[in-house]
Chain A
Amino acid sequence: MVKATKKWWPVFVLPTVAAFMIGFVIPFLEGLYLSFCKFTTINKASWVGISNYVKVFQDAQFWDSLTFTASFTVVSTVLINVLAFAIALALTRGLRGTNLFRTVFFMPNLIGGIVLGYIWNILINCLLSILGQPLIALNTSAGYWGLIVLMCWQQIGYMMIIYIAGLQSIPNDYIEAARIDGATSPQILFKIKIPNVMPSITICMFLTLTNSFKLFDQNLALTGGDPNHATEMLALNIYNNFYARSGAAWKGIGQAKAVIFCIMVITISLIQLRATRSKEVQQ
């Protein structure tokens, strides 16, 4: 049977692989190559070795955006997961209205980043002007916390759904047995529930970490990096190097940053997966 199937590859595999070549492999390899070049278009590129990378590490804005991104990622990952888990715990108690709550909390996740960004831009600006503070375009801390609130609003529902699925898959016997043995509610939470939903925690941590680290649309729409690049995250910084700065040199630097960014995302994913997987318990 395998043999009969094998010669059908032009029908089954070719369309996807050809599109994958055009949409991923070729641009990826070209991107890798261009990070060592000075260029304005792909055809007008001259090899400059690692000087782009050297310039990236000398660029103060790169370090600023990296720090901003890292701090945003840590805070938003912790907040989203803690809050989503708390809501999931509340929604698995069999309360009335659970379905309605679940529906509402999940909804923002379906709305695109650009639209979300502008919705919160309007809301936060209104809040700031009532409080007599400078608007978000001039206000770094409002931009930072605005991004975090927005990210929580968007992602909590999604993570909550995954945590609910995890919590519901814990056999009731475990909890009952623990209760008969005299375990208190916090003990049940930390000794039974959390170890048993470790796979869900892995997934949610992974998703929130990478989503936050790679954030672009929301950043562009909510703050646009204002004031003066202070709320510019890495993805937006790379984008601006490509399209907002004049001078051919910046495209090469942007591409080199993109390669570094890519390596960071891959590293984070690998470390994170390994770290949480090792804490999972066998059921």
Chain B
Amino acid sequence: MNNKPSLADKILPAFLGALCIVWVYPIIMILFNSLKKETAISTNTAFQLPNAESFAGLENFVNAVMSKGFIDAFVTSLIITVTSVAAILLFCSMCAWYITRVENILTKAIYFSFVFSMVVPFQMLMFTLASTSDMLNLNTPYNIWVIYLGFGAGLAVFMFTGFMKSIPLEIEEAAMIDGCNPFQTYFKIVLPILKPTMISVGILETMWVWNDYLLPYLVLDRKKYSTVPILIQYFKGSFGRVEMGPMMACIILTVLPIIIIYLFCQKHIIKGVVAGAVKG
């Protein structure tokens, strides 16, 4: 189309640019404040840049890492996220394949229970879930993936079945005629075709598990383990004076890896989110 650049087209970029600055400002502000000395941080000077007097270098970051347990929490979060997402991708895609290929009342019932579970708010089962997982010893970072697999199965199975329906049956039939059993058919034929959906589901589930606060807070053995969101909440939730410096350093240390990963895999992330939303 050949419309002339209107007045709107000239003003809009400037306006959007300004909006972008507003958008990133909160994070920049936390970054500046995390570089200030503990004594220099106060609510009414939070908008000011650190100056020669208040600049603390990386002191808060060192403090957060050395004495506030940031590394432990980060590693715990990492273990939980990796194991849970891996389990969800593997088991839910297998389950989705089975219930699309074997259609009977039972698989339909399973499918609808999964869809139903997507709508149910976590508060409905938080108390009972916490005691069930205590009873079954699922309260460590190494076992909690079972809970995530169960609670996250809804979305994953839903997205996988949506895609599975579009795979032509002939390919799988050919493999079976050539002597593959269902296990081999699945891993050699179906799984490679699923790769794009795997990435989408993987991104959505990673975002959920990594940022989740309440489930690990209630399920994990709190005396031994904490995740990054739990650690940040703990700064404020514990009694006594809030140590703002280390807390803001923790926030930056949490946000920074996410932003870096995002800048590198932007395309996949945005595609994954759209796929999840359009199917959801």
Contact = CB atoms under 8 A, between A and B. Distances in A.
Partners in one complex: yes
B99 to A, nearest CB: 7
Interface string A89-101: 0110101110011
Contacts of A153: 23, 26
Contacts of A130: 44, 47
A11 B263 CA distance: 38
A255 B128 CA distance: 10
Contacts of A30: 125, 128, 132
A42 B135 CA distance: 11
Interface stretch (A57-65, A73-81, A260-268): A260-268
A283 to B, nearest CB: 15
A182 interface: no
A262 B255 contact: no
Contact of A100 (B20, B92, B97, B176): B20
Interface residues of A, number: 95
A12 B97 contact: yes
A5 B124 contact: no
A188 B193 CA distance: 40
Interface string B244-280: 1001100100110011001100100110011001101
If over half of A's interface residues share one DSSP class (helix, strand or loop), that class is named, otherwise mixed; here it is helix
Interface stretch (B58-66, B148-156, B194-202): B148-156
A266 B151 CA distance: 17
Contacts of B244: 122
B114 A162 contact: no
Interface string A201-229: 00110110010001011001100100000
Contacts of B151: 23-24
A242 B182 contact: no
Contacts of B114: 20
Interface in A229-266: 235, 238-239, 242, 251, 254-255, 258-259, 261-262, 265-266
B46 interface: yes
Contact of B280 (A11, A203, A224, A261): A203
A172 interface: yes
Given A101-B16, A125-B46, A135-B43, A111 B23 contact: no
Contact of B182 (A4, A19, A22): A4
B229 A162 contact: no
Nearest to B135: A42
A97 B132 CA distance: 51
Given A23-B150, A107-B24, A42 B117 contact: no
B30 interface: yes
Interface string B7-48: 001001100110110011011011001000000000111110
B83 interface: no
Given A20-B113, A115-B255, A162 B146 contact: no
B211 A113 contact: yes
A116 to B, nearest CB: 9
B127 A255 contact: yes
B94 A129 contact: no
B277 A203 contact: yes
Interface in A46-61: none
A251 B127 contact: yes
A118 B131 CA distance: 29
By CB atoms of chain A within 10 A, which of B43, B103, B259 has the most?
B43
Interface residues of B, number: 96
Contacts of B12: 90, 93, 95
B147 A97 contact: no
A72 B72 CA distance: 37
Contact of A27 (B101, B132, B232): B132
B125 A126 contact: no
21 contacts: A13-B95, A13-B107, A16-B153, A17-B95, A22-B132, A95-B13, A97-B13, A104-B23, A112-B210, A113-B211, A115-B229, A118-B247, A126-B44, A135-B43, A161-B273, A162-B274, A210-B119, A258-B123, A258-B125, A261-B123, A262-B120
Interface of B: 1, 9, 12-13, 16-17, 19-20, 23-24, 26-27, 29-30, 33, 43-47, 87, 91-92, 94-95, 97-99, 101-103, 107, 110, 113-114, 117, 119-129, 131-133, 136, 138, 146-151, 153-154, 157, 172-173, 176, 181-183, 186, 207, 210-214, 229, 232-233, 236, 244, 247-248, 251, 254-255, 258-259, 262-263, 266, 269-270, 273-274, 277-278, 280
Interface of A: 1-2, 4-6, 8-9, 11-13, 15-17, 19-28, 30-31, 34, 41-42, 87, 90-91, 93, 95-97, 100-115, 118-120, 122-123, 125-126, 128-130, 135, 153, 158, 161-162, 165, 172, 175-176, 203-204, 206-207, 210, 214, 216-217, 220-221, 224, 235, 238-239, 242, 251, 254-255, 258-259, 261-262, 265-266, 269
Given A8-B181, A17-B110, 5 more contacts: A15-B149, A19-B87, A217-B213, A265-B119, A265-B121
